[in-house]
Amino acid sequence: MSGYLPICSEDLKKHNIEQLDFVYVIGDAYVDHPSFGHAIISRILEAHGYSVGIISQPDWKDPDSISILGRPRLAFLVCGGNMDSMVNHYYVSKKRRSVDAYTPGGVMGKRPDHATVVYGNLIRKTYKDIPIIIGGIEASLRRMAHYDYWSDSFKRSILLDSSADLISYGMGEKAIVEIADALNSGLKVSDITFIKGTVYKTQDESLFYDEIRLPAYELMKEQKSYYAESFKIQYENTDPFTGKVLVEEYPHDVFVVQNPPQPPLSVQEMDDIYALPYMRNYHPSYEAAGGVPAISEIKFSLISNRGCFGGCNFCALTFHQGRTIQVRSHESIIEEAKKIISLPEFKGYIHDVGGPTANFRHPSCKKQLEYGVCKNKQCLFPKPCKNLYVDHRDYLALLRKLRKLPGVKKVFVRSGIRFDYLLADSDDTFFKELVEHHISGQLKVAPEHIADPVLMRMGKPENSVYERFIHRYKKLNEQMGKNQFVVPYLMSSHPGSTMKEAVALAEYLRDFGYMPEQVQDFYPTPSTMSTVMYYTGIDPRDMKPVYVVKNPHEKSMQRALIQYRNPDNYDLVYEALVKADRQDLIGFDKKCLIRPRKNASFNSKKEVNNAHVSKANGNKKYEKNARENKNRSGKESGRPGSIKKKKTIRNVHGKKKK
């Protein structure tokens, strides 16, 4: 079908469609671009001969809103959106966001909380017997029993709560075609139990074999340690080559059954997906509302890969895209780049060429496509595996080709760069060209923390690796006469972070002369290793206890320490330093984080000599320090601890910055 897919009855008449094969209900605005899951799934079905219509953001309080395209011949498809609807709606503080980038005009409130569940039940009330297939990130990460941070409760599989018949988890391209073909052949949806990448429910135990029985839902709900055990088993079975059938039992002899994941897409299959006839924009009906804000982030960007073997514990990619890297060919990416260049609003800048991790362009080792990824080992953590295949030549060749295209002034890399993988490459040609050609003044990287005990819980490399990266990055900039910066993403309150590690991070930032403008509190999203730690207080990898910050005030203190220069954070930082017994960091010495409270007595000799000073890396034992503060004039104007806006500070490279 040329043009946009049908969204109303007038569109059906225009295309001479009496009944659609599928009606796709989505929580986002309809954006026909391959960065949006609903566009990919609907275009793939269309390419296989099926007709699809889109109901975008229906009024969940009005049952008629689900019927505007009539009853589909085969099934309803449901997706909550490109983000989990709860993450879309709420900050980690659980305060409601004011803007929804996936809604026309950025208006908040056009989709319900737990959108997939609400839409599924809305459909079921109107169409009692029609198959309902749910998919997307929300369904994928909630496919088995899971902890829900926003309600602080342990929830059942979303398959049960949504009244759906089947979950297509992961990216879903192969699974959705197999589901469509099965339904089209006349199979009942209850008989579709054999497709990889799906989850179904049943009371018939004869349908599954060679399975792994997970702890029953009621048992996990009663005792959190069973959930930690269950998650470890799930995590070890996310690979399509080695994954087993997983079975989770619920009351009344109901079983939720997860089939192994779909195999990774070949290069040709990836190319075929991105060659489909996308309109590459939001539906024109949204123009009056100002369009869809999310398009600006991806309109001039290129997706080159999927999957990630980085293995960060706070990231859900392992459960959604998997650890095996899947890539597009250079020809496919260049063809899409030419389409971008031809757009009238293109100014010569390709904003990004990447994916979950930009510099991953092949499997982490040569055995993965035959034997799968290792169940109990990570490719990069705690050290790069001896079998790790490190090579940036293919990615570098792609970037060089894109730079040479007529009309292209600059090709930026704004996806995450995995710096430990970059350093593992003995050939630093890519690193040099990255610095020379592909940074828009600032390179964003994600050390996340500097204290090794916290990094271990995160599944991130030791801080010494990040320091080596910063040193090398600085040297390359100096050699090329460039003044480019690093913007490190940092996270507060991750499981394992006590006040000791939070203070160590503040000291590290002090020594670097850098205060981040934005800090992300750890956000417990469904189906991540870190979220399981947060909920259970147990690290599923070794089943040992882990310290977890849940008190909102303590979380605020840890966050404030990262931005200790901000005058608004003074009281929280002061309280945190006292709580950590680090009063030695309250004073006038250059090593202090804040000054004493105005007019407060400050017995330097007594307080400083009894304090402990941590090493900059935050993971070695505290040592006594007898540093005496001599400058105690107290003549500074304004609130103690404040910094005038025009005061010179130093960035991570030691360069002066106003």
Average pLDDT over residues 368-389: 91
- Residue 643, number of CB atoms within 10 A of its CB: 12
Classify the C-alpha dihedral 60-61-65-66 as positive or negative. positive
Which residue, 251, 166, 258, 241, is CA-closest to 216? Answer: 251
pLDDT tens-digit profile of 394-406? 999 999 999 999 9
pLDDT tens-digit profile of 551-609? 999 999 999 999 999 999 999 999 999 999 999 999 999 999 999 987 655 444 344 33
CA distance 199 to 160: 11
pLDDT tens-digit profile of 625-656? 333 333 333 333 333 333 333 333 334 444 44
Considering 176-190, 415-429, 584-598, the range whose residues carry the highest mean pLDDT is 176-190
Is residue 136 very low, low, confident or very high in pLDDT (cuts 50, 70, 90)?
Answer: very high
Which residue, 453, 549, 561, is CA-closest to 493? Answer: 549
CA distance 480 to 483: 9
Overall size of the chain counted in residues: 658
Cβ-proximal residues to 590 (8 Å cutoff; 6+ apart), any chain: none
Helix H or strand E encompassing 337: helix 330-341
Q: In the prediction, which pLDDT does 600 show?
A: 58
**What would you measure as the largest C-alpha separation in the chain, in angstroms?**
87
One-letter amino acid of 99: V
Q: What angle do CA 324, 370, 246 make, to 5 degrees?
A: 65
CA distance 270 to 637: 62
357 within 8 A of 317, measured Cβ to Cβ: no
Average pLDDT over residues 320-347: 96
What is the DSSP-derived secondary structure letter of residue 179?
H
- Residue 545, number of CB atoms within 10 A of its CB: 11
Residue 608 three-state SS:
helix
Is residue 519 very low, low, confident or very high in pLDDT (cuts 50, 70, 90)?
Answer: confident
Q: In the prediction, which pLDDT does 240 show?
A: 94
- Residue 551, number of CB atoms within 10 A of its CB: 10
Residue 456 three-state SS:
helix
Q: Chain centroid to CA 541: how far?
A: 21
Which residue, 274, 212, 284, is CA-closest to 242? Answer: 212
Is residue 44 very low, low, confident or very high in pLDDT (cuts 50, 70, 90)?
Answer: very high
Residue 378 three-state SS:
coil
Q: Say which residue the tokens 């490459």 belong to.
A: 425
Report how far apart, in Å, the C-alpha atoms of 120 and of each of 56, 251, 276 are: 14, 21, 28
Q: In the prediction, which pLDDT does 369 show?
A: 82
Token output for 33? 């671009």
Least confident of 96-110, 217-231, 487-501, 588-602: 588-602
Q: What are phi and psi of 598, to 5 degrees?
A: -60, 135
Residue 195, pLDDT above cutoff 80: yes
525 within 8 A of 83, measured Cβ to Cβ: no
Angle, in degrees to the nearest 10, between helices 224-235 and 529-536:
170
- What percentage of residues in the chain have a pLDDT greater than 90? 85
Is residue 368 very low, low, confident or very high in pLDDT (cuts 50, 70, 90)?
Answer: confident
CA distance 171 to 377: 24
Report how far apart, in Å, the C-alpha atoms of 92 and of each of 43, 87, 493, 503 are: 34, 8, 11, 21
Number of separate helices (H) and strands (E) present in the chain: 24, 28
Cβ-proximal residues to 555 (8 Å cutoff; 6+ apart), any chain: 492, 493, 521, 549
Concatenate the DSSP letters of all residues of 195-227 into one string.
Answer: -TTEEEEES-GGG--SEEEPPPHHHHHH-HHHH
Q: In the prediction, which pLDDT does 223 show?
A: 98
- Residue 431, number of CB atoms within 10 A of its CB: 21
Question: Which CATH number applies to 9-198?
Answer: 3.40.50.280
* Mean pLDDT, the chain, whole residue set: 90
584 within 8 A of 594, measured Cβ to Cβ: no
What is the DSSP-derived secondary structure letter of residue 312?
-
Token output for 19? 């009944």
pLDDT tens-digit profile of 436-485? 999 988 898 999 999 999 999 999 999 999 999 999 999 999 999 999 99
Average pLDDT over residues 149-169: 98
106 within 8 A of 99, measured Cβ to Cβ: yes
Is residue 170 very low, low, confident or very high in pLDDT (cuts 50, 70, 90)?
Answer: very high
Residue 611, pLDDT above cutoff 60: no
pTM comes to 0.89
Is residue 328 very low, low, confident or very high in pLDDT (cuts 50, 70, 90)?
Answer: very high
Residue 647 three-state SS:
coil
Q: In the prediction, which pLDDT does 12 show?
A: 97
Q: Which residues are paired to 115 by β-bridges?
A: none
Domain ranges for the chain: 9-198
Residue 613, pLDDT above cutoff 80: no
Report how far apart, in Å, the C-alpha atoms of 546 and of each of 223, 452, 455, 643 are: 16, 14, 13, 36
